[in-house]
A = this chain, B = another copy of it.
Amino acid sequence: MLPFSRVTIIGLGLIGSSIARAARRQMPTVRLTGHDADAEVRATATALGLCDDVSDTPGAAVTHADLVILCVPVGAMDQVARAIAEDLPAEAVVSDVGSSKAGVLAALQAALPGATIVPAHPVAGTERSGPEAGFASLFRGRWCILTPPDGADGAAVQRVAEFWRRLGAQIETMAPDHHDRVLAITSHLPHLIAYTIVGTASDMEEITRSEVIKYSAGGFRDFTRIAASDPTMWRDVFLSNKDAVLDMLQRFSEDLSALQRAIRWGKGDELHDLFTRTRAIRRSIVEQGQDDPAPDFGRSHE
């Protein structure tokens, strides 16, 4: 049985449009309604046929929904939730795809008192943005984390889980605070560091932009991919998951200082020990299907 039959997606960027495409492929009888605050995105979504309907307002988009998924930057969740509050059907389940969860849950609960809220975070994406960047297989094999509030409706949680399973994801459930700490280290800190080093390289006085680009295959280019991610989405993530991000950053800085000291004093054994230890984790990630087994991410060398 289908977990939901009338699904509304608010925000038709990379993630929202990928949900639409995956739902269309995996649950073709589901009626899909979409909305985006940007008229140009709405026009593109219509032209691409991403949804059965594209509504001009968030309120109109949710009127007939049994599942509403908010796919907007986490800093915009509050505003969007307020905009749908009046038109939201009583029996609808509200979910989202935000990268931080405690702040979003609090915002949704405040804006939608009495609504059934089951926050979710599909840990998937690319560096691209917008309705044309999405694709149906984005969630396949990836994990989708549900962070239902205390006392959440168990049946609603199960239906949201089933929805994501049908899109190809694996499901895990955890408390919002724990989610925010786990993702701070596996996603938010990596992005912060990538943005920083790309900024540092761009600002070198005696090394030209052209040199940075030409010799980026030495490692730097990997960081530029992540640092090409959506600026608004990531600004919001760092501001909304501030405490966990600052804590992870502190730990990272301490570890970096230790390595700096090891280099300064020529402690080769310390370096070699760490570099050996870090090798194993890559193997586990590949073994568990969370990255391409081919060398160099499977990049083409021909």
Q: Which of A248-302 contact B (CB under 8 A)?
A: 248-249, 251-253, 255-256, 259-260, 263-264, 266, 268, 271-272, 274-279, 281-285, 288, 290-292, 295-302
Q: How many residues of A contact B (CB 8 A)?
A: 111
Most B-side CB within 10 Å, residue of A135, A224, A229, A277: A224
Q: Contact between B143 and A224 (Cβ–Cβ < 8 Å)?
A: no
Closest chain B residue to A219, Cβ basis = B190
Q: Contact between A234 and B275 (Cβ–Cβ < 8 Å)?
A: yes
Q: Contact between A219 and B187 (Cβ–Cβ < 8 Å)?
A: yes
Q: Contact between A207 and B181 (Cβ–Cβ < 8 Å)?
A: yes
- Which of A34-42, A83-91, A235-243 lies at the interface with chain B? A235-243
Q: Contact between B301 and A195 (Cβ–Cβ < 8 Å)?
A: no
Please indicate the chain B residues that have their CB under 8 angstroms from the CB of A99 in the complex: 218
Q: Contact between B224 and A259 (Cβ–Cβ < 8 Å)?
A: no
Q: What is the count of identical protomers in the complex?
A: 2
Check A157 for interface membership: any CB of B closer than 8 A. Answer: no
A274 → chain B, closest Cβ, in Å?
5
Q: Contact between A224 and B281 (Cβ–Cβ < 8 Å)?
A: yes
Q: Which of A202-226 contact B (CB under 8 A)?
A: 202-204, 206-207, 209, 211-226
Q: Contact between B284 and A213 (Cβ–Cβ < 8 Å)?
A: yes
Q: Which residue of B188, B225, B278 contacts A199 across the interface (Cβ within 8 Å)?
A: B278
- Which of A3-11, A59-67, A110-118, A122-130 lies at the interface with chain B? A122-130
Shortest Cβ-Cβ A-B pairs, 7 listed: A187-B218, A231-B275, A190-B219, A228-B282, A126-B295, A297-B297, A227-B278
